[in-house]
Amino acid sequence: MPKHPQNREQPKQRGGQRWGAGWALAVTSVAGFMAALDNLVVTTALPSIRDDLGGALDDLEWTVSAYTLTFAVLLMFGAALGDRFGRRRLFITGLTIFTGASAGAALSSGIDGLIAARAIQGVGAAIMMPLTLTLLTAAVPAAKRGLMYGIWGAVNGLAVASGPLIGGSLTEHASWQWIFWLNVPLGLIVLPLARLRLNESHGTGAPLDILGTLLASGGLFGIVYALIRGNPDGWTSATVLTGLILGAVLLAGFVVHGMRAANPMLPMRLFRSRAFSAINAASLLMFVGMFGSIFLLSQFLQNVIGYSPTEAGLRMLPWTGMPMIAAPIAGYLSDRIGGRPVVAAGLALQAAGLAWFAVIVSPEMSYAEQLPALIISGVGMGLYFAPAANLVMSSVRPSEQGIASGANNALREVGGALGVAVLASVFSAQGGYGSAQAFVDGLGPALWVGAGAVGAAAVAAALLPRVSAGRRAEAAVFEAERELVG
The 10s digit of each residue's pLDDT in 413-461 is 778 878 888 898 899 888 887 888 999 999 999 999 999 999 999 999 9
466: how many CB neighbours lie within 10 A of its CB? 8
CA distance 99 to 133: 19
CA distance 44 to 37: 12
Three-state DSSP state, 453? helix
Dihedral in degrees, nearest 10, Cα atoms 346, 348, 351, 355: -130
Predicted pLDDT at 14 = 40
Predicted pLDDT at 206 = 66
Contact between 50 and 203 under an 8 Å Cβ cutoff? The reply is no
Predicted pLDDT at 161 = 64
What is the band of 468 on the pLDDT scale with cuts at 50, 70, 90?
very low
Sign of CA dihedral 424, 427, 432, 433: negative
465 or 138, which is more confident: 465
pLDDT at 473 over 60: no
* Closest listed residue to residue 179, CA positions, set 187, 195, 190, 168: 168
* Closest listed residue to residue 32, CA positions, set 143, 120, 147, 163: 163
Which pTM was predicted?
Answer: 0.73
How do residues 346-363 score in pLDDT, each as one tens digit?
999 999 999 999 999 999
Predicted pLDDT at 55 = 67
CA distance 164 to 41: 5
Q: Distance from first CA to last CA of the chain, Å, rounded? A: 15
Predicted pLDDT at 481 = 41
| Mean per-residue pLDDT, 303-315 | 85
6 or 378, which is more confident: 378
pLDDT at 232 over 50: yes
Predicted pLDDT at 469 = 46
Please write down the HEC assignment for all residues of 107-162: CCCCHHHHHHHHHHHHHHHHHHHHHHHHHHHHHCCHHHHHHHHHHHHHHHHHHHHH
Predicted pLDDT at 432 = 83
Buried b (16+ CB within 10 A) or exposed e, 426-457: bbbeebebeebebbbbbbbbbbbbbbbbbbbb
What is the total residue count of the chain?
A: 486
Percent of the chain predicted with pLDDT > 70: 86
Contact between 350 and 384 under an 8 Å Cβ cutoff? The reply is yes
109: how many CB neighbours lie within 10 A of its CB? 9
How do residues 237-261 score in pLDDT, each as one tens digit?
998 899 999 999 999 999 999 898 8
Query: Of 15-29, 161-175, 182-196, 227-241, where does the model show the most confidence?
Result: 182-196
Helix-helix angle 323-337:339-360, to 10 degrees:
150
Predicted pLDDT at 402 = 65
Predicted pLDDT at 362 = 92
17 or 350, which is more confident: 350
* Closest listed residue to residue 444, CA positions, set 431, 454, 425: 431
Number of Cα atoms under 13 Å in the Cβ half of residue 34: 34
Radius of gyration in angstroms for the set of CA atoms belonging to the chain, rounded to a whole number: 21
How do residues 94-138 score in pLDDT, each as one tens digit?
999 999 999 999 898 888 899 999 999 999 998 888 788 778 877
DSSP state of 175: -
Predicted pLDDT at 262 = 81
Contact between 454 and 286 under an 8 Å Cβ cutoff? The reply is yes
DSSP state of 6: G
Contact between 424 and 228 under an 8 Å Cβ cutoff? The reply is yes
Q: What amino acid occupies position 79? A: A
CA 283 to chain centre: 9
| Mean per-residue pLDDT, 160-186 | 83
Contact between 32 and 155 under an 8 Å Cβ cutoff? The reply is yes
Mean pLDDT over each residue of the chain, to the nearest integer: 80
CA distance 479 to 317: 41
| Mean per-residue pLDDT, 23-37 | 83
CA distance 71 to 121: 8
Contact between 398 and 479 under an 8 Å Cβ cutoff? The reply is yes
DSSP run (H or E) holding 350: helix 339-360
Residue 182 Cα distances to 26, 156, 178, 185, angstroms? 18, 16, 6, 7
Lowest-pLDDT range of 206-210, 289-293, 344-348: 206-210
Predicted pLDDT at 141 = 67
Query: Of 73-82, 209-218, 306-315, 454-463, where does the model show the most confidence?
Result: 454-463
Predicted pLDDT at 165 = 77
319 or 481, which is more confident: 319
Predicted pLDDT at 254 = 92
Percent of the chain predicted with pLDDT > 90: 22
